[in-house]
Amino acid sequence: MRPINDAHVAEPGLAVVEIAAADDATAFAIQEMLAARCAIAPADRTIREPGEPGVRLRCFLDVRQHPDV
């Protein structure tokens, strides 16, 4: 995965969440749970790292905003 950009965590309330899961369905289910609680820039695909188990997914959160805003 690419490095985290300073802008992604430039202010309190912004976060980068990396999800490690056994499969795509589990990773996307976790992302959906996060999206129900705060504003999120969702990932549209997972990444498989050679030699590592499972998949990874990175999404960007703004806990200052509710998803309906």
Q: What is the pLDDT of residues 13-65, one digit of tens each?
A: 899 899 999 999 999 999 999 999 989 999 999 999 999 999 999 999 998 88
pLDDT in the model for residue 36: 92
Cβ–Cβ contacts within 10 Å for residue 4, how many? 13
Check residues 58 and 66 and name the one with the higher pLDDT.
Answer: 58
pLDDT in the model for residue 11: 85
Only one residue has tokens 């490095």, namely 3
pLDDT in the model for residue 68: 66
pTM of the model: 0.80
Rounded distance between C-alpha atoms, residue 57 and residue 43, angstroms: 7
Single-letter amino acid code for the residue at 33: M
66 conformational bin, left if phi > 0, alpha if psi -120 to 50, beta if neither: beta
Rounded distance between C-alpha atoms, residue 56 and residue 22, angstroms: 9
Say if residues 7 and 16 touch (Cβ distance below 8 Å): no
